[in-house]
Amino acid sequence: MLDTAEQISDSQFEFITFSAGGQNFCLEITQIREIRRWTTVTALPHTPPDVLGVMNLRGAVIPIFDLSARFGLGKTTENERNVVIVAASGDTTIGLLVESVSEILSVDKDAIQETPDIKSDMTKLSILGVISVEDTMVRVVNLETVLATDLQLAV
């Protein structure tokens, strides 16, 4: 369980970085409940392609989203490093299928930059900001938008 990790100081944030659809993303560590291996899920009828189905998480039924498909980056391709990140916001718990988890990133608040002014409103909604790590750019996922199942992110 990673949710017990405490922030180092008020201005420091810790993120878990992962890749989905070939891009780098991260979620704040306090939103993540656990990381599990992929197991088969039960498909739900009449759901968009980014909803893979539901999984049994110790008695709770949680939906599993394909994060890559959710962001319109195509379906996640098979890889044995694929994992499900179980994240929670408020009373809602969901699972996100991602290609692989990379590392824990500890950054100063100032290091988080605003999302550059891009064309797609949906992308702007789903990304809270970006962090530059060496040569790569890591996108901070807005969990609220992912949770809003009535939002079609992948248009």
User: Which of 36/109 has CB closer to other proteins?
Assistant: 36
* Contact flag: residue 93 with other proteins (CB under 8 A): yes
Provide the minimum distance between the beta carbon of 153 and other proteins in the complex, in angstroms, as a whole number: 15
Contact 108, 12 (CB under 8 A): yes
* Contact flag: residue 49 with other proteins (CB under 8 A): yes
* Contact flag: residue 53 with other proteins (CB under 8 A): yes
Stretch of residues binding other proteins (CB under 8 A), selected from 23-31, 61-69, 99-107, 108-116: 61-69
* Contact flag: residue 55 with other proteins (CB under 8 A): yes
Provide the minimum distance between the beta carbon of 52 and other proteins in the complex, in angstroms, as a whole number: 6
Residues that bind other proteins (CB under 8 A): 38, 40-49, 51-56, 58-63, 66, 75-78, 80, 82, 91-94, 97, 149-150
